[in-house]
Structure 1
């Protein structure tokens, strides 16, 4: 596939759209990535992360944009500075453009993986085929390009749009080898920041292709710090590689990252690493100076997700210290991601079971409830972080009532 800059000219953008409508503006805005003006590069980068890829959704305009971005990775423009449009961990204002472009490709790959999980490429190709409705699909894309529908609700409810979105997923899967080919030379780039982002992008993109495992040995030989080492382990996690050897690494952060591998779901050593790491969730959140892109937010959130997925109600006693530690750092804004999964397990709820109410909690369950009731950070005025979860478990969402239930045997 073509990953050169002339993708802007060779693509019929009128047949695509993005989060804000027809993508006929893409050539002009994306050309800003090649601009000598920093504000134009920043505007184009914001367009990539907020319009071409919007809140984890890929659009028909995403595949050609991703190929264009991949074609810029070797361009000298990648050395020019640009501000981070998201203001997050993707980089400081003085960072060069190249790491941001790699971050965009990694985010696209993860979005595709999440939506197309469990589907083979052959199945996606089938879903993207309009069959006898090819003419109707052509008419729909023409209407979109004209913008005469004003992007009303009726247009978004057209079942043919499913075919269009499936085609975007298909195209990105098919583009994975070309995207990986553009990223691979950067695995041994002189700039450690670029290497780390290239490793992260390689791990995410490798899940889209059906080729061999990405060789990260060159990047491993050049790894200079924990952040870069963890990025390599996490790339193996994403790509389905074997991380078991890292469970004995001297660095706890590296061990915990290795434990996140789906292949270690039944490994007691990996489970123990997750529990140990979450015994001090604040320390886990501060492991990295430049947090690997694998983690969308707090490091502890990914550790909690893995721990909950590998545990059951029978593990509640062993998980109580972890729950108490998390309750001590959680807030009304993070309480659901920090505590909901473990609380449901403690109350005996799994994906296969539900409860209508807990009338007489056990001593162990009351210990969990006390950890919630006693934490002021979970009960800020006007914000009830765990109230929906408590309500769903048949528990009182009023603090005094919950404390009373937790206190009485």
Structure 2
């Protein structure tokens, strides 16, 4: 089906994007079939914020993807390489690639699900009901704002669509999402499933363009198609692309600096395709060695190689050693050593280098992920660690490095405060931590005892009290022997009956033991609510940004892949820089 047919036959009025029904996006989409690069570039700017806002698929996203694929197919490789359309072609490719990254992260969420046809039908009915209802605000808003679907007002193809993002008049489309209520989640899942079904169409357009006639590889096209090659149904295309990549890689000279960046790019592709690169662990290029370790971090020797790489990236010029994509390699290395739960002792060189070089900005994304496995978690609090009572040498070195860096103690830096609290330091001052470290170093491994944070102390006291079924039982008082009674005395010899005597006054009772004083009620240990609120906890290390449609459609998250194996991690947090074409 041609791009024009898709545009004309699609029922855009019953498809939703991030800001309402999608018929208002049709003029911008139609501009992509034009000849003028400037308005076409404006139209490209509509795609991400409306059809893939915050890495979320919408009911209109599959139709938009089909349309973009039809445009690229009609262009052909020749027009796609036209210099005047370079920005437009790149924008369209990025849109396709980011959808692939989204599906790669969400593959587990979508597995086993089926399209909810009832939710789709009910959504259509709600949209029809809203369209038939009179709009009392239509007259007041017609002159200066877009309609419920965001109809352009003549300010350019993308101008009307950008209005809500610029803080313009509120988009009525947001109200549509509110009206859908519980239908929002199944509609977004439906969109994800429909996009997954377009994998073969994406590969049909891009895979033939990966190899160049001169035996080289189109790296930009390869970059676009890689996330789609690991999705279900892509096995044949993946095999074909792997063969092209390996052939090209075998023909590159590791010693030739002119081929170094292309070689690194191709090795990164193999990592993304989950290939085992442990055979490149002795490569002369440090970037290739690091990528080989990332591909199989559980193999022997992989973690030491990754730690060396992370340390060098901190202490040396990383771009000179690892190339322009060194940040991507670093993020993948972080994710790899965290995923295999490497011990603190193994990560210590990289962790100390990171702490020493840190400016205190976002420590929870800098050095903190490398050390958290080395500090015990507190009971019931996943994101809190406790100061160990008998710290190891590695733990002491981490605390010493933290005490030595003044940027980690800026009282105005809430991130640094939260990071210290995360390690169990609580309100401990820098001087107190230094004194604690000095005491531990002087005591040696056998005599180290540290105090824990007040929160931890309160928790320990609370646990101790709850472990007791009842208050402490007082010792049983010793019963004093009762004084001998008259009847207990020896009976004297029988005497003549004396005259009756008056009854003696009653004696005070002496049989009961003396009453013990009431036990003093022990003060209850301080509870957590009695303490000052702890500093804000840091954002936990990055995990897999999974699309969760429980909120209004979009969920914040990165636009790239999460890690080399599709798991959680900071890899591809931003769009990786494209390697220069050879």
Report TM bin, short chain.
0.7 to 0.9
1:233 maps to: 267
| Deviation string, structure 1 residues 342-385 (Cα, Å, up to 9, x no partner) | 22112134999845632646142131123233334555673333
Contact 1:70–1:179 under 8 Å retained in 2: yes
Correspondence 1:79 to 2:108? no
Q: How does 1:286-297 map to 2 (within 5 A)?
A: 291=325
Compute the TM-score of the two structures, normalised by the length of structure 1. Answer: 0.79
Contact kept? 1:216, 1:232, Cα under 8 Å: no
Counterpart of 2:312 (choices 268, 271, 280) is 280
In structure 1, stretches of 5+ residues that fail to align are 83-93
Instruction: State how far apart, in whole Å, the 2-side matches of 1:301 and 1:399 are.
Output: 31
More helix by share: 1
Superposed CA offset, 1:280-323 (max 9, x none) = 124555566664xxx9x6531221111111124xx111211010
Q: CA deviation at 1:142?
A: 4.0
Secondary structure of the structure 1 residue equivalent to 2:281: helix
How many Å separate the matches in 1 of 2:387 and 2:395? 10
For 1:379 and 1:23, locate their aligned partners in 2 and report how far apart those are by CA, in whole Å: 50
Matches within 5 A, 1:129-148: 129-131=116-118, 133=119, 135-142=121-128
Contact 1:200–1:234 (CA under 8 A) maintained in structure 2: no
2:496 alignment counterpart: none
Comparing 55-64 and 65-74, the one that deviates more = 65-74
Shift, 1:21, TM fit: 2.7
Name the structure 2 match of 1:205: 228
The yes-or-no answer on 1:309 pairing with 2:300 is: no
Change (3 A) 1:250 1:36: same
Match of 1:89 in 2: none
Moved more, 139-148 or 273-282: 139-148
For residues 177-188 of structure 1, what are the structure 2 equivalents within 5 Å?
177-188=200-211
* Structure 2 CA distance for aligned equivalents of residues 306 and 376 of structure 1: 29
- Alignment match of 1:101 (pick from 69, 77, 92): 92
Given that 2:110 and 2:189 are in contact with CA atoms closer than 8 Å, whether structure 1 keeps it comes out as: no
The answer to whether the 8 Å contact 2:21/2:173 transfers is no
Check conservation: 2:100, 2:227, Cα contact below 8 A. Answer: yes
- Equivalent pair of 2:375/2:388 in contact (CA under 8 Å): no
Give the superposition deviation at 1:64.
Answer: 2.2
* Corresponding residue of 2:278: 244
Q: Are the counterparts in 2 of residues 34 and 77 from structure 1 also a CA contact under 8 Å?
A: no
Contact 1:366 1:407 (C-alpha < 8 Å) held by counterparts? no
SS of 1:60's partner is coil
TM-superposed CA distance for 1:225, in Å, is 3.1
1:372 to 396, 402, 420: 402
Match of 2:371 among 326, 340, 343: 343
Hey, what does 2:39 align to over in structure 1? 40
2: CA distance between counterparts of 1:157 and 1:391?
42
Please give the secondary structure, in 1, of the residue aligned with 2:231. Answer: coil
Partner of 1:29: 28
Partner of 1:324: 352
Mean alpha-carbon deviation: is it higher for 225-234 or for 315-324? 225-234
Structure 2 runs not aligned, ≥5 long: 132-147, 150-170, 250-257, 441-582
Note if 1:164 corresponds to 2:155: no
CA distance change for structure 1 residues 130 and 6 in 2, over 3 Å: closer, same or farther? closer
Residue 110 of structure 1 pairs with residue 88 of structure 2: no
- Tell me how far apart the structure 1 counterparts of residues 215 and 358 of structure 2 sit (CA, whole Å): 33
Q: Name the stretch that deviates more: 33-42 or 108-117.
A: 33-42
Distance of aligned partners of 1:374 and 1:227 in 2 relative to their CA distance in 1, 3 Å threshold: same
Whole-angstrom CA distance in 1 between matches of 2:102 and 2:290: 24
SS, match of residue 268 in structure 1: coil
Q: TM-score, normalised by structure 2?
A: 0.57
> What secondary structure is seen at the aligned counterpart in 2 of 1:167?
helix
- Is contact 1:366-1:405 (8 Å) kept? no
Larger deviation: 148-157 or 2-11? 148-157
> Partners in 2 of 1:396 and 1:22 — Cα distance?
50
- The CA RMSD over aligned residues, in Å, is 3.6
Query: 1:365-404 residue pairs with structure 2 within 5 A?
Result: 365-378=395-408, 382-396=412-426, 400=430, 402-404=433-435
Q: Quote the Cα distance in structure 1 between the aligned partners of 2:4 and 2:22.
A: 17
SS at match of 2:234: coil
Deviates most, 17-26 or 326-335: 326-335
Structure 1 counterpart SS, 2:367: helix
| Higher relative contact order structure (alpha carbons within 8 Å, sequence separation ≥ 6) | 2
Match of 1:91 in 2: none
> After alignment, is 95-104 or 318-327 more displaced?
95-104
How big is each residue's C-alpha offset from its partner over 1:236-266, in whole Å with a ceiling of 9 and x where there is no partner? Answer: 33333333333343322123223333xx242
